[in-house]
């Protein structure tokens, strides 16, 4: 338990930051799941459209520091490759 005023404030800030980052992580994970769902369904046009939206979400998370830039690039690359592999 925090004993000083400074430690109490840091604990409050940590809770607020955790909630904010959790919401943002959820947002980008949902975007990725939407693309994967369309890929599994075989809807190439829908997957490509969802990928465009997911791409901007992923880039935003990387820009804000929620996601490492290399991890963002990896997600985008694998989703793109999956869409291109659809016949």
CA distance 11 to 34: 35
State in words which class domain 5-85 has.
Answer: mainly alpha
Give pLDDT, residue 38.
97
Percent of the chain whose pLDDT exceeds 70: 100
pTM summary value: 0.82
**pLDDT values of the chain reduced to their tens digit, one per residue, 87 residues:** 788 999 999 999 999 999 999 999 999 999 999 999 999 999 999 999 999 999 999 999 999 999 999 999 999 999 999 999 997
Contact 38/50 with Cβ under 8 angstroms? yes
């Amino acid at each position: 338990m925090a004993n000083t005023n400074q430690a109490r404030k840091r604990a409050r800030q940590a809770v607020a930051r955790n909630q904010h980052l959790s919401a943002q992580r959820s947002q980008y994970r949902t975007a990725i799941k939407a693309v994967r769902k369309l890929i599994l369904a075989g809807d190439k046009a829908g997957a490509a459209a969802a990928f465009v939206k997911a791409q901007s979400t992923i880039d935003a998370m990387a820009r804000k520091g929620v996601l490492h830039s290399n991890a963002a690039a990896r997600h985008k690359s694998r989703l793109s490759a999956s869409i291109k592999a659809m016949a």
